[in-house]
Every structure is written in C-alpha cells, then in structure tokens.
Amino acid sequence: MNTKVAIKDRLKMLGIKPSLQRMAIMECLLEHPVHPTVDMIFNQLSPTIPTLSKTTVYNTLKLLSEERAIHTVNIDEKNVRYDGDILPHAHFKCKSCGKIMDVHFQGLEALKIKQLHGLQIDECQLLYKGYCQTCQHEIKQTTNN
Amino acid sequence: MNTKVAIKDRLKMLGIKPSLQRMAIMECLLEHPVHPTVDMIFNQLSPTIPTLSKTTVYNTLKLLSEERAIHTVNIDEKNVRYDGDILPHAHFKCKSCGKIMDVHFQGLEALKIKQLHGLQIDECQLLYKGYCQTCQHEIKQTTNN
DNA sequence: AATTAAATTGTAATCATTACATTTTTAATT
DNA sequence: AATTAAAAATGTAATGATTACAATTTAATT
C-alpha cells in the first residue's frame, strides 16, 4: 500500500525533502500507473494545488529520476513518460491508441546485467511497439466491412 | 559488402525510389555505423551534395524507417539516432562521453517476440545506459587524484 | 515537347523542455 | 519571536529539434 507516510519515508530515505509538491507528484505516479507525461501530471494535480507550476513538475521529475525514485520511459516520440514502478518490467506502446502498458515475463530480470564487454551498466529499458488487443479487433472489423 | 548497387537494389525491393539523396543517406548510415543524428548526417553529406536540405534528411529517414530499411534508436534525450543495421542487437549509451555502441549477446533474439499477452508486437528496442570502458578509467583516475 | 506526378528544397511554425530570475517557503541562528 | 540564510517553487523567456507547408526542381508519362 502506498500511504502518504510510506511515500514520505521513501523520499526521506533517498535524501529528498518531502515537500507538498514532491509528495503529490510521487503519489500521482504510484496511484495512476499510466506512465503519464508532464502535462498529464500537471493537469491531474493542478486543481488540488492551484499554485503548482509546470516547471516544478519538470524539476521534481528530474530530481526523482536522478535519485532513482522513479523511471523515465522514452517510448513516445513526442513526450517523455514517467513511471513510479521501479521493479524490472518492459513497456509496450500501442501504435494505434497510444496506450502504454507494462509487460512482465519470465527471464526479464536476466537483462538487468551490470557488466557486459567491459561496459558498466546501470540503466536498462526494454521497449515494444505494436497493436494492443482492442485495436487489433477494431482493425479487423474495419477491414471486414 | 554495401556496394551502391546492393543499396540500390535493397531500396527498390522495398518500393523506395533510389534517388541520389536517398542513396547517399542510406549509404552514410551503413558506412558510418555510429548511430548518427539528423545533423550529423546532414553535415556529413552537405559537402558532396551542396543542395541537400535538412528537410530532405528528415523526410528520407522517416521514409526509410517506415519501410523498415533502417531503425530509429531513442536512447538519447535530445536527438533521435538512426541505425542502418536492422539485425537484432541492443544499444548502450555512455552517460559520460555520449557514445552509442552496439551490444550483442546470447539470447537477444528471444526478445524479438511477436505475440505476448494478446499484444501484437512488431518493434523491439533494448537500451542500456552506463559508462564505457574508457570513461570508467578516466573517472577512476580523477577520483584518485 | 507537353503534362503530370514525385521528390527536393527553404522558410516558418510548433511545442516540449530548459534557463534563469524572482518570489515564496522552510530551516537555522540569535 | 524576529532575523538571516538556504532551499524550493514559480513565471517568463529562450532554446532547439522536429514538422508543416508552399514553392521549386527533377523525373516519368503521354
């Protein structure tokens, strides 16, 4: 469970002062695991924090990802996506509806290698693109008519 | 060997008319497998094709990747990188010098799955970030002083 | 050669992200 | 509790990669 207390402790542990804005952004990512953009986060929180600035969202997301509290997902051409789930998993983007989904499968952890050909690796992203179940069906329907 | 003839045939096979500009861009990617940016390609070819426009480079790279003659690599935050090598391999970016390198290892082909959890997959990217051998050494040296 | 279509080019617009200066909030010190 | 210093948040302006679009050039077709 991601209680506010748990989030606060987590940020403190990482040396991040848990301000109102930082807490809200972190909580937003955990509560809405849709890999949101900066704009989506800003629009989500703006009503409850009317003074919130988009720059703060940018700054905070940068800080959080630098301190490894969150991950960035570079699967979309236009905007960077953010993910509060830092457990190893792949991402899939539907080229029709644009939805970004988590993908889990056996053997994924094996990709999280730390050393390879003398390279020191500390970040890994596995990205897939294609068509989700819903869009596959819609395309079939359209083609049949 | 990537002779001009071979490149021309390859483009024709994909239904791409092999114009001077398209040939040059395709050849540039194959001859200089450094995962160049649009600007790098433009600067490389500009002297030999003085009339070349950057828009043409953008248009051509879009066409080539749509027709699957090349791959885009979204490992850099600032610019899209392009790769003429479409055989399965991963990419590594050094966070110090910025160099982007190919990574090959056993079991990589297994990631090229076509179907998963009902998703129809037709693109796959495996990206690593960290520090290359050279930069690791330099960091050690600096730290020791 | 004339006509049409395709490809290339140059300029202007878009828009996500960053830079930076200012203001506000928080923490530390007296 | 007031004062000062540091950190965080904010708003505006700038940046710069990419795209849109209209004009020009080149190639293909009749």
Same domain, A120 and A106: yes
E-state strands within chain B: 71-73, 81-83, 90-94, 100-103, 115-116, 119-131
Name residue B71's beta-bridge partners.
B83
Of the pLDDT bands very low, low, confident and very high (cuts 50, 70, 90), residue B144 is low
For residue A14, name the pLDDT band (cuts at 50, 70, 90): very high
**B120 shares a domain with B63:** no
A119 contact residues in B (CB cutoff 8 A):
92, 94, 101, 103, 128, 130-133
Q: Are residues A12 and A72 in the same domain?
A: yes
**pLDDT for B7 beyond 90:** yes
- Contact list in B for residue A112 (CB cut-off 8 A) is none
Handedness of CA B116, B118, B123, B128 (dihedral sign): negative
pLDDT tens for A90-101 read: 999 999 999 999
Distance CA B138, CA B145 (A): 11
Which of the four pLDDT bands, split at 50, 70 and 90, describes residue A144?
A: low
Same domain, B96 and B74: no
CA of B60 to C1' of D29 (A): 25
**Residue A118 is part of a domain; what is its CATH number?**
3.30.1490.190
Ranking A16-20, A102-106, A126-130 by mean pLDDT, the lowest is A102-106
Comparing C-alpha atoms, which of A72, A113, A69 is closest to residue A91? Answer: A72
What was the pLDDT predicted at A142? Answer: 67
- Are B89 and B104 spatial neighbours (Cβ–Cβ below 8 Å)? yes
Residue linked to tokens 């809405």? A32
A49/A20 same-domain check = yes
Same domain (yes/no): A80, A60:
yes
CB distance B21 to B56 below 8 Å? yes
| pLDDT value, residue B142 | 67
Strands (E), chain A: 71-73, 81-83, 90-94, 100-103, 115-116, 119-131
**B96, closest residue in chain A (CA to CA):** A120
pLDDT band per the 50, 70, 90 thresholds, residue A145: very low
Which of A107, A83, A122, A72 is CA-nearest to residue B128?
Answer: A122
For B8-55, what is each residue's pLDDT tens digit?
A: 999 999 999 999 999 999 999 999 999 999 999 999 999 999 999 999
Q: What per-residue confidence (pLDDT) applies to B2?
A: 77
Number of domains in chain A: 2
Q: Taking 80 as the threshold, does the pLDDT of residue B64 lie above it?
A: yes
At CA B107, angle to CA B80 and CA B121, rounded to 5?
55
Note whether A75 contacts B74, CB cutoff 8 Å: yes
CB-CB under 8 Å, A128 with B120: no
Q: Which pLDDT score is estimated for B145?
A: 46
The answer on B74 and B4 residing in a single domain is yes
Q: Is strand C in 7 Å reach of the CB of A76? A: no
Average per-residue pLDDT in chain B?
A: 93
Q: Looking at residue B76, which CATH number applies to its domain?
A: 1.10.10.10
Same domain (yes/no): B95, B65: no
Could you tell me if B70 and B82 are in contact, meaning their C-beta atoms sit under 8 angstroms apart? yes
Whether residue A69 sits in one domain with residue A27: yes
Residue ranges making up the domain that contains A107 = 87-145
pLDDT at B106: 84
